[in-house]
């Protein structure tokens, strides 16, 4: 085979390898994107669970307050009297429930925010993977092209000149 045919085969091989590098990076990016979608979904599920937890706290508070009213009425106390013992106990129960509900609501928001941040990190990793693969592929192709250019017949070949460029002191004469 001639040198030109071998050089063409090497160039095609380098291009195919570069294409494979970029293709593999795109597949990895899709994996990262799938992980990002999964994290967003997990964030929504966690947020719903926290909201459900907050609702359960409020429902339990209602049951406690209803039981307090019923006990007060059964004991001969006006359960609806403002400032009475039943009212004070119910206010205390409601305060605790409101705090727990607020915490659950905040946790829901935090879960979604954390999921969005993690998803962004996965998407950024995918983007950087493809970007790096493209740069690597381009470097590989350019290196192959430079190597082929230096080894082709009729090319000037690698540079072999001296650092002084042939100027100054080469006469061999010594000055006394």
What pLDDT sits at residue 164? Answer: 55
Calculate mean pLDDT across residues 12-38. 94
Nearest-angstrom CA–CA distance, 8 and 14: 10
Q: What is the pLDDT of residues 40-67, one digit of tens each?
A: 999 999 999 999 999 999 999 999 998 9
Structure pTM?
0.67
- Sign for the pseudo-dihedral over CA of 79, 83, 85, 86: positive
Q: Which residue has the higher pLDDT, 8 or 18?
A: 18
Q: pLDDT digits over 119-135, tens only?
A: 999 999 999 999 999 99
pLDDT category at 23 given cuts 50, 70, 90 is very high
Identify the pLDDT of residue 154. Answer: 67
Rounded to the nearest integer, the mean pLDDT of the chain is 86
Quickly state the pLDDT bin for 87 (edges 50, 70, 90).
confident
Question: What domains does the chain contain, in order, with CATH numbers?
Answer: 3-149 (1.10.287)
- 118 and 39 Cβ atoms separated by less than 8 Å: yes
pLDDT tens track for 127-175: 999 999 999 999 999 998 888 887 776 666 554 555 555 444 444 455 5
Q: Which of 94, 90, 101 is nearest to 57 (CA)?
A: 101
Check residue 155 and give its pLDDT: 62
Q: What letter does residue 155 receive in the DSSP assignment?
A: S
CA distance 49 to 58: 14
Helix (H) or strand (E) segment spanning residue 35: helix 3-74
Whole-angstrom distance, CA of residue 156 vs CA of residue 47: 68
């Amino acid at each position: 085979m001639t040198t030109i045919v071998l050089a063409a085969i090497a160039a095609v091989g380098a291009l195919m390898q570069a294409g494979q590098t970029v293709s593999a990076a795109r597949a990895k990016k899709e994996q990262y994107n799938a992980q990002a979608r999964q994290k967003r979904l997990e964030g929504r599920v966690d947020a719903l669970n926290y909201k459900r937890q907050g609702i359960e706290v409020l429902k339990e508070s209602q049951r406690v307050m209803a039981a307090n009213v019923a006990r007060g009425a059964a004991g001969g106390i006006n359960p609806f009297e403002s400032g009475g013992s039943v009212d004070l106990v119910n206010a205390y129960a409601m305060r605790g429930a409101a705090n727990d509900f607020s915490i659950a609501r905040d946790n829901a928001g935090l879960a979604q925010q954390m999921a969005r941040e993690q998803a962004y990190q996965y998407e950024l990793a995918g983007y950087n993977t493809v970007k790096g693969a493209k740069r690597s592929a381009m470097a590989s192709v350019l290196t192959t092209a430079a190597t082929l250019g230096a080894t082709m017949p009729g090319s000037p070949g690698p540079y072999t000149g001296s650092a002084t460029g042939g100027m100054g002191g080469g006469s061999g004469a010594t000055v006394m």
